[in-house]
Structure 1
């Protein structure tokens, strides 16, 4: 059993890993997945086990620690933080599997790196004891090094064309888990931002998945016996989706760090003195810092408040979930604006591959494209604040 670790010790581990992550960042972009030495270092540091129960060798950290660790990683490299976020957040969903499946995935010192796709592009045909699954799913971040894969599927009866419906009349969704060796990776991840995440399409055909390795996405989905801690009663999207905002904040802080460093010596042939002496840059820097710090303060205030209520066994209201989503969306958008300010201040030299600013600009705009904190989530937050119904059952988990 793993002993409890502190937030400070985990952040220290990130700092120890920073030189390795930076050393292989270019190679990761060229190969379009994290370099093997980076993955090994992350695994040895325990950063792929942040949300796994201690009973299975995980670290079972509190939500605010999780956000801080992701932000610290993204401050070094966005793709690295993204891959850790995906695997850790998906491991949280193991709480809804039957005990035998959790034992098979996490037990006996197993290496738990999980890739996943949230689009219901799979076809799960009901059979005795499980489902026959086929499908092709995009955005399987981290699939190159993953040991397991999770996929969303619509449920069908054998021989039918239309998916089954749940009690509300919507298509019934099942989440299926299977060894990554059972899926084929398709070389599709040719992108500008977060290019080292290896978020390729994956495909599988007619693979039997036992029922124990699946669960149906409903607000009433029960959690297993090893997931009784308050961490696993925390709002599901607060750990599964909204930590994207911590990745965004880290990328933005990294850009602020870089432009602050560069301006110590950057000059222009057109004006005297260094960049740091110019009023325009001073204004841009102050604006970027204000955007990031204000967004971080609100987001972490909400995480802390919701965590305290969860620990006391209190229900998290729709209004509180709306504020959580709104704070995460705001942090992501503010972070993008801050990176743009830093990149613009960097001038033409920021466009060179040797400048971290160009990667941070590309990465942050890949983050902003994710549906979880996209502008449409302002509408979702507004509906929750107004007490209007939502179609997403995950919002109530």
Structure 2
């Protein structure tokens, strides 16, 4: 099956947020039709990534100096919320691969020039868990190890890799993201999962790579510097909320499918229209309310944060730690919404041919992502409110207090 391509405006024209969201919404039927194929292939095909590229989605967060539109991250999040309604794996891959373009706004411009100097459509993959070994050397870093769950890794010509910087006693003092060339790492196909199988989130193996200083940055050192306004949001906030946004799309997709099915379904025993059941109507309404609440919380959080960064100010620790739980709760609440609907489907819901079971599986896996850890983030917020304590290596370097 072919996928429709939506053209990007010619020249320097920058589309509005509404135009970009409309492009994403127009892709939903084609993406939904290919979701089974993508899940079975265990990766998103190149033509789907090309469709996203042609629609301009990779330019939303990309710095203007390197061919992008440098838009507020909420635009990207709204697009993800639409794409997630169609194919969860494709939307997830767009989220992971696309959010990296924002990261260059935090870095030395030489890093972006290395990647986009010849081709401003080059795609970057990632794996941020600090799993490997990082050593400071003259002019940069030596990096080696194995990193899991690099979503969309087949499409990346580079990858951001996470690692801890340690002092001479082995104590972590910073958390870095390091930009590594594709020639310096191997992709290991170990992604066999019951959900989000189509994301191709394979492992990355680095035997020994040198990364110059200008291709590395701290993920926790949040400060005012050269970066533009739309890059003044905290690193974790943009990445965590991008994950939350795409999960909102998954849950909305389950709602869409549920409504389509229940409008035409009849009870096997009585022949009564299922849509007339108060039980079905109640579950649908409660699922919708959960998802709408998640979306509203995301919009409110980003609007408040935007009002701060537009004044060239940093977002306070007090706001940031509240935001972290706001975002983490989205995974749990969307998971609850989809499960609420799934319980109404009865035996029909267990068949692989029913897309709602895939929305459920994909949402369950997505809600297990570290960014959606509502339990630990709740504990962190409660501890902060009671004692002022903060989790280490997340909000600041140890030497920053």
TM over 0.5: yes
Matches within 5 A, 1:1-397: 2-155=12-165, 163-164=166-167, 169-220=171-222, 225=226, 227-228=227-228, 230-374=229-373, 375-386=375-386, 388-395=388-395
Q: Which residue of structure 1 lines up, in the alignment, with residue 3 of structure 2?
A: none
Is the 2:152–2:199 Cα contact (8 Å) retained in structure 1?
yes
Select between 293-302 and 253-262 the one with higher mean Cα deviation: 293-302
Provide the rounded CA distance (Å) in 1 between the counterparts of 2:214 and 2:134: 14
Is the 1:115–1:143 Cα contact (8 Å) retained in structure 2?
yes
SS in 2 for 1:111: coil
Provide the rounded CA distance (Å) in 2 between the counterparts of 1:19 and 1:298: 27
C-alpha change, 1:305 and 1:35, in structure 2 (3 Å) is: same
Give the deviation of 1:363 after TM superposition.
0.6
SS in 1 for 2:271: strand
**What TM-score do the two structures reach when normalised by structure 1?**
0.90
Give the deviation of 1:112 after TM superposition.
2.9
Is the 1:90–1:115 Cα contact (8 Å) retained in structure 2?
yes
C-alpha change, 1:329 and 1:216, in structure 2 (3 Å) is: closer
**What TM-score do the two structures reach when normalised by structure 2?**
0.90
Provide the rounded CA distance (Å) in 2 between the counterparts of 1:45 and 1:57: 14
Give the deviation of 1:251 after TM superposition.
0.8
Is the 1:178–1:209 Cα contact (8 Å) retained in structure 2?
yes
Is the 1:90–1:114 Cα contact (8 Å) retained in structure 2?
yes
Provide the rounded CA distance (Å) in 2 between the counterparts of 1:56 and 1:231: 15
Summarize deviations over 1:4-31 as a string: whole Å, max 9, x none: 3211110121123334423332221112
Provide the rounded CA distance (Å) in 1 between the counterparts of 2:389 and 2:211: 33
C-alpha change, 1:101 and 1:393, in structure 2 (3 Å) is: same
Give the deviation of 1:165 after TM superposition.
5.6
Q: Which runs of 5 or more structure 2 residues have no equivalent in the other structure?
A: 1-10
Q: Which runs of 5 or more structure 1 residues have no equivalent in the other structure?
A: 156-162
Summarize deviations over 1:222-253 as a string: whole Å, max 9, x none: 75x5x32x110122222122221111111111
Aligned residues: 386
Give the deviation of 1:358 after TM superposition.
0.7
Give the deviation of 1:262 after TM superposition.
0.3
Select between 119-128 and 73-82 the one with higher mean Cα deviation: 119-128
Is the 2:34–2:87 Cα contact (8 Å) retained in structure 1?
no
C-alpha change, 1:165 and 1:50, in structure 2 (3 Å) is: farther
SS in 1 for 2:79: helix
Is the 2:223–2:314 Cα contact (8 Å) retained in structure 1?
no
**Which aligned runs of 4 or more in structure 1 are off by greater than 6 angstroms?**
none
Provide the rounded CA distance (Å) in 2 between the counterparts of 1:135 and 1:193: 26
Q: Which residue of structure 2 lines up, in the alignment, with residue 158 of structure 1?
A: none
Give the deviation of 1:36 after TM superposition.
1.8
* Aligned-CA RMSD value: 2.2
Provide the rounded CA distance (Å) in 2 between the counterparts of 1:298 and 1:59: 25
Provide the rounded CA distance (Å) in 1 between the counterparts of 2:366 and 2:88: 9
